[in-house]
Amino acid sequence: MPDNKITEKFHPSFTKLGLSSIVAISEQVRDLEAATGRKIIPFQRGDLNLEAPEYVKDAAKKAIDANRTRYPRSGGEPGFKEAVVKYHKESGVELVPENIVCLHGGQEGLQLSFSLFRGKRVLGFSPYWPCLTGNIFPYSENAFETVPLEEKNGKLSFDPAELKRKLKDADLLYVNTPHNPTGKVFDRAELRLIDEAARKAGVVIVSDEPYDKIVYDGREHISMLEFGNENTIVVFSASKSYAVTGFRAGYAVSRNTEIAALLTRANYSQTAGVATPIQDACAAALNDRARREEWVAFLKDTMQRRRDALYTGLAEVFPGLVKPQGAFYYFLDMRGIIPPAVKNRDEYLLNLFLDSDVAIVPGASFGKEGFIRVSFSGTGLEETAEGARRIVRAVKKAKADGAARTALAGRVSL
Amino acid sequence: MPDNKITEKFHPSFTKLGLSSIVAISEQVRDLEAATGRKIIPFQRGDLNLEAPEYVKDAAKKAIDANRTRYPRSGGEPGFKEAVVKYHKESGVELVPENIVCLHGGQEGLQLSFSLFRGKRVLGFSPYWPCLTGNIFPYSENAFETVPLEEKNGKLSFDPAELKRKLKDADLLYVNTPHNPTGKVFDRAELRLIDEAARKAGVVIVSDEPYDKIVYDGREHISMLEFGNENTIVVFSASKSYAVTGFRAGYAVSRNTEIAALLTRANYSQTAGVATPIQDACAAALNDRARREEWVAFLKDTMQRRRDALYTGLAEVFPGLVKPQGAFYYFLDMRGIIPPAVKNRDEYLLNLFLDSDVAIVPGASFGKEGFIRVSFSGTGLEETAEGARRIVRAVKKAKADGAARTALAGRVSL
């Protein structure tokens, strides 16, 4: 049987899928380290290098000991859903188990939410998480249009008029707060405006909130759940909240129980649910409020120190630098140091920093060529500070090489 | 925003999804038990009631202790793939890691394999696993055609001429051995014939082999992998092999590395992979050959005793009964005891047996109305024997009621 015949039968939603640019860079870094013995600072990662809290690990082990190793209930174990209901009640959000679907991380939450509206039009803010355009939307065959986040009067935000205009041609609106890659935490007024505009336009909101625990300077995470919009799907993840990216667990919430029921059936069809002992561990993570709050305080503090170390280090060459409000990324404008003759600006930036033993993710896959994302999720405090020094060194070198014709623009000015 | 607008935007691949008939029956049983205090024998289940082997549970716990809680590698951890390669080498099958994709159980293996060929035509044998027509094919939008398995000269098999004829109008062939719901174990000659016919027709084989460890009377499981067909995808599951349906883990194998690479990307897009500690546990399950063989011997012995208890019990009313060769199901022809006036034969059978405190799955969802599937996966030896007595009692009662006009036909004669 000639191979080309088979190849022709592959569905385009599969053949258009990329592998994550971040994964590709990580593999390049691994190869480079193995070949040269150099130690490269992994600012490309989106994976916390913290050990998961003991009480969460204990709960997983206890579940295994108790032989909680049989099929989970469709859409989530009753105990998991109860824990989620109780947790959101803490912040005044009333839910019922029928609103909740336990899923394989934020990833499956987004994939299923967008696949439910296969082939429809999605509006989002740019820059955005690269997995959307590399995987999620090719898989769900959705068209993607954006509204830019831009700095005005020292604040990163969007133009409400543009949002409202573009919502007219959209079926779905993708929101992400705290925001990857800018670190912006949308405030209540912005979210309310977004919610009202989406309702008016008859647009379903998909709100991606995996960094809800990681907000700085005493800031509060505002969830899209707050606005009581029936046609909103909010996706939460255990990954970043408890440093368990490898548990592949999270959940989607919709007040529209028909949406929740369809997500449940699709999850059953795809994987028959999230591993039972892992659901138990996630329920325990939520249920033990004292231990959770202690852990989240530690998590915030640890990440805020890293954020501040980067800020201090980078200030020398980025005088107007704005600190991220949440998540664990800086998104830096490097357009000013790229020689005009450079054709592939992403490649130039990747190599410029790799030459100084620091790995970053160039901006094109976030929809912003000439920028870099610097993640402090996978580096200790000292390593983070050293990484800042290396970034500064690379930037100075690029400038000294006389490569840059324009003034250095490194501020988070989108 | 009017709700009907949203509803109209749901993709039909979601709105056509069913919930498993088996899940629905289990929930009915639970309600009935709670309301009446009766104890119903759960012959509807497809979930082993055995405790998972200690060495597998220990491996999962050790992985958690060792903080193996970060993102898995795309397509499977290197250690997981190595274990799979080594395991198949035991039976003379040579693989490379690039042939293997770690997935969320047989479920995701089938869902992704068929979704890769979205909208194409699938041929399979009937009866078949209900999830195919209830979930997998509606989700992948595949058309499904069947070749019946029929008893000839005391052997359950198919007509090769019919298979070859129908393969001309197919893109994919679904094979399942050991077979759910008949317990048939396809022999080497049958599988070779299937393989050759599929190659000749340019048809991709998807072979579903979750019961590979559960074969009786010293019989051997023959995998479709044996025939070296590049365009075959074989799906394996840890669920039934190690009594860990709640781990949601398994893997797909294809010698066509392009297929394996596309399944990897799609798995990444859907869920970003199987939980890292669970992959470790599955690798350990395969790697410790001595403990694995001890466990599998126990598993086979336990299930064979149950199978034989049912056989002994049922022989009285099913004189020509054939023992299943593998898996853990009897598929019994009940057409002879259903009163001709009965409109919903499935409902009649479900209620007939529920009245005798035994739950079964009626045949319509397997593509064979008038049959029942009796699973001995979830019942101890004594309970299995008692279940057989209750089935006999129900059958006798139906006959005594003068309901049956024709002779009782309870043999596995498809």
For the segment B106-164, what is each residue's pLDDT rounded down to a tens digit?
999 999 999 999 999 999 999 999 999 999 999 999 999 999 999 887 789 999 999 99
CA dihedral A347, A350, A351, A357 (to 10 degrees): -170
- Measure A413 CA to nearest chain B CA, in Å: 31
Q: What is the mean pLDDT of residues B7-27?
A: 90
Please report, for the domain that includes residue B263, its CATH number. 3.40.640.10
- A268 in Cβ contact with B135 (< 8 Å): yes
Closest to B9 (Cβ–Cβ): which among A52, A60, A120? A120
Q: Are B190 and B338 part of one and the same domain?
A: no
Q: What percent of chain B has pLDDT over 70?
A: 96
Q: How far is CA B393 from the centre of its chain?
A: 28
Task: Please tell me the predicted confidence (pLDDT) of residue A4.
Answer: 54
Closest to A271 (Cβ–Cβ): which among B2, B120, B248? B248
| pLDDT tens digits for range A44-84 | 988 899 999 999 999 999 999 999 999 999 899 999 999 99
Task: Please tell me the predicted confidence (pLDDT) of residue A27.
Answer: 86
- Measure A414 CA to nearest chain B CA, in Å: 28
Closest to A72 (Cβ–Cβ): which among B111, B119, B246? B246
Cβ-defined contact of B248 to A274 (cutoff 8 Å): yes
Residue B15 lies in a domain: yes
Chain A residues 338-377 with a CB less than 8 Å from chain B: none
Which of these three, B288, B315, B344, is where a domain ends? B288
Closest CA to A321 of A387, A413, A414: A413
Q: What is the mean pLDDT of residues A114-119?
A: 98
Give yes or no for residue B390 having a pLDDT over 70. yes
Residue A1 lies in a domain: no
Question: For residue B363, what are the CA distances in angstroms to A318, A382, B121, B313?
Answer: 70, 65, 23, 21
- Measure B50 CA to nearest chain A CA, in Å: 9
Residue B60 lies in a domain: yes
Chain A residues within 8 A of B272 when measuring between CB atoms: 104-105, 107, 248
Task: Please tell me the predicted confidence (pLDDT) of residue A309.
Answer: 98
Chain B residues within 8 A of A111 when measuring between CB atoms: 269-271
Task: Please tell me the predicted confidence (pLDDT) of residue B161.
Answer: 98
Residue A410 lies in a domain: no
Q: Are A80 and A226 part of one and the same domain?
A: yes
Site from B269, B274, B279 to mutate, A interface, most A CB atoms within 10 angstroms = B269
| pLDDT tens digits for range A267-287 | 999 999 999 999 999 999 999
Give yes or no for residue B223 having a pLDDT over 80. yes
Q: Are B12 and B116 part of one and the same domain?
A: no
- B222 in Cβ contact with B188 (< 8 Å): yes
Q: How far is CA A101 from the centre of its chain?
A: 19
Please report, for the domain that includes residue A386, its CATH number. 3.90.1150.10
Encoded tokens for A62: 């206890």
* CA angle at B348 for the pair B345 and B352, rounded to the nearest 5°: 140
- Measure A345 CA to nearest chain B CA, in Å: 26
Instruction: Tell how many helices (H) and how many strands (E) occur in chain A.
Output: 15, 14
- For residue B67, the chain A residue with the least C-alpha distance is A51
| pLDDT band (50, 70, 90) for residue A404 | very low
Q: Are B373 and B392 part of one and the same domain?
A: yes
B289: amino acid identity, one letter: R
Given phi > 0 = left and psi -120 to 50 = alpha, else beta, which region is B273?
left
Q: Are A233 and A362 part of one and the same domain?
A: no
- A214 in Cβ contact with A183 (< 8 Å): no
Task: Please tell me the predicted confidence (pLDDT) of residue B407.
Answer: 39
Cβ-defined contact of B271 to A271 (cutoff 8 Å): yes
Question: For residue A194, what are the CA distances in angstroms to A157, A187, A227, B283?
Answer: 12, 11, 10, 47
Contacts of A186 (CB under 8 A, 6+ apart): A175, A177, A179, A194, A222
Which of these three, B233, B264, B288, is where a domain ends? B288
Chain A residues 66-125 with a CB less than 8 Å from chain B: 67-72, 74, 104-105, 107-108, 111, 115-120
Across chain A, mean pLDDT equals: 94
Q: Are A37 and A105 part of one and the same domain?
A: no
3-state helix, strand, coil in chain B (%, to 5): 50, 15, 35
Q: What is the mean pLDDT of residues B209-234?
A: 98
- Measure B399 CA to nearest chain A CA, in Å: 37
Give the H/E segment covering residue A102.
strand A100-103
Closest CA to A77 of A245, A267, A276, A221: A276
Question: In this structure, how many other beta carbons lie within 10 angstroms of the beta carbon of residue B319?
Answer: 10
- Split into its structural domains, chain A has a count of 2
- For residue A229, the chain B residue with the least C-alpha distance is B1
Closest to A108 (Cβ–Cβ): which among B18, B202, B271? B271
Q: What is the mean pLDDT of residues B62-75?
A: 96
| pLDDT band (50, 70, 90) for residue B19 | confident
Site from B13, B26, B70 to mutate, A interface, most A CB atoms within 10 angstroms = B70
Return d(Cα A193, Cα B114) in angstroms, integer: 42
Q: Are B63 and B163 part of one and the same domain?
A: yes
Chain B residues within 8 A of A47 when measuring between CB atoms: 70-71
Query: Whole-model pTM?
Result: 0.95
Chain A residues within 8 A of B243 when measuring between CB atoms: 69
Cβ-defined contact of B231 to A1 (cutoff 8 Å): yes
- For residue A12, the chain B residue with the least C-alpha distance is B116
**Complex-level ipTM beyond the 0.90 threshold:** yes
Task: Please tell me the predicted confidence (pLDDT) of residue B2.
Answer: 47
Residue B408 lies in a domain: no
Q: Are B34 and B61 part of one and the same domain?
A: no
Return d(Cα B15, Cα A409) in angstroms, integer: 50
- For residue B199, the chain A residue with the least C-alpha distance is A1
Chain A residues within 8 A of B51 when measuring between CB atoms: 67, 69
Residue B412 lies in a domain: no
* CA angle at B27 for the pair B21 and B28, rounded to the nearest 5°: 90
> Is B249 at the interface with chain A, CB within 8 A?
yes
- For residue B232, the chain A residue with the least C-alpha distance is A6
- Measure B377 CA to nearest chain A CA, in Å: 12
Cβ-defined contact of B262 to A199 (cutoff 8 Å): no
Instruction: Tell me the pairing of strands B250-254 and A371-375.
Output: unpaired
Return d(Cα B366, Cα B175) in angstroms, integer: 15
- A161 in Cβ contact with A183 (< 8 Å): no
Q: Are A196 and A88 part of one and the same domain?
A: yes
Residue B363 lies in a domain: yes
Across chain B, mean pLDDT equals: 94
Closest to A266 (Cβ–Cβ): which among B17, B51, B74? B17
Chain A residues within 8 A of B2 when measuring between CB atoms: 202
List B245's β-bridge partners, or say none. none
Encoded tokens for B238: 């840890």
Cβ-defined contact of B69 to A246 (cutoff 8 Å): yes
Question: In this structure, how many other beta carbons lie within 10 angstroms of the beta carbon of residue A212?
Answer: 21
The parent domain of residue B239 ranges over 54-288
- A288 in Cβ contact with A86 (< 8 Å): no
Return d(Cα B183, Cα A321) in angstroms, integer: 67
Closest to B248 (Cβ–Cβ): which among A52, A105, A273? A273
Q: What is the mean pLDDT of residues B74-94?
A: 97
| pLDDT band (50, 70, 90) for residue A22 | confident
Give yes or no for residue A407 having a pLDDT over 60. no
Q: Are B236 and B358 part of one and the same domain?
A: no
Site from A16, A69, A118, A137 to mutate, B interface, most B CB atoms within 10 angstroms = A69
Cβ-defined contact of A270 to B108 (cutoff 8 Å): yes
Cβ-defined contact of B19 to A265 (cutoff 8 Å): yes
Task: Please tell me the predicted confidence (pLDDT) of residue A152.
Answer: 85
Q: What is the mean pLDDT of residues A175-195?
A: 98
Q: Are B251 and B311 part of one and the same domain?
A: no
- For residue B113, the chain A residue with the least C-alpha distance is A10
Chain A residues 260-289 with a CB less than 8 Å from chain B: 262, 265-266, 268-278
| pLDDT band (50, 70, 90) for residue A24 | confident
| pLDDT tens digits for range B231-288 | 999 999 999 999 999 999 999 999 999 999 999 999 999 999 999 999 999 999 999 9
Which of these three, A245, A273, A288, is where a domain ends? A288
| pLDDT tens digits for range B161-204 | 999 999 999 999 999 999 999 999 999 999 999 999 999 999 99
Q: What is the mean pLDDT of residues B358-365?
A: 96
Chain B residues within 8 A of A243 when measuring between CB atoms: 69
| pLDDT band (50, 70, 90) for residue A222 | very high
Chain A residues within 8 A of B79 when measuring between CB atoms: none
> Is A4 at the interface with chain B, CB within 8 A?
no
Task: Please tell me the predicted confidence (pLDDT) of residue A100.
Answer: 98
Closest to B1 (Cβ–Cβ): which among A9, A18, A202? A202
> Is B38 at the interface with chain A, CB within 8 A?
no
Cβ-defined contact of B249 to A275 (cutoff 8 Å): yes
Closest to B15 (Cβ–Cβ): which among A15, A256, A262? A262
Q: What is the mean pLDDT of residues B76-88?
A: 98
Task: Please tell me the predicted confidence (pLDDT) of residue B4.
Answer: 54
Q: Are A128 and A162 part of one and the same domain?
A: yes
- A57 in Cβ contact with A299 (< 8 Å): no
Encoded tokens for A200: 């008016």
Helix, coil or strand: residue B319: coil
Give yes or no for residue B403 having a pLDDT over 80. no
Site from A227, A269, A375 to mutate, B interface, most B CB atoms within 10 angstroms = A269
> Is the C-alpha dihedral spanning A16, B168, B17, B375 positive or negative?
negative
Residue A412 lies in a domain: no
Task: Please tell me the predicted confidence (pLDDT) of residue B402.
Answer: 60
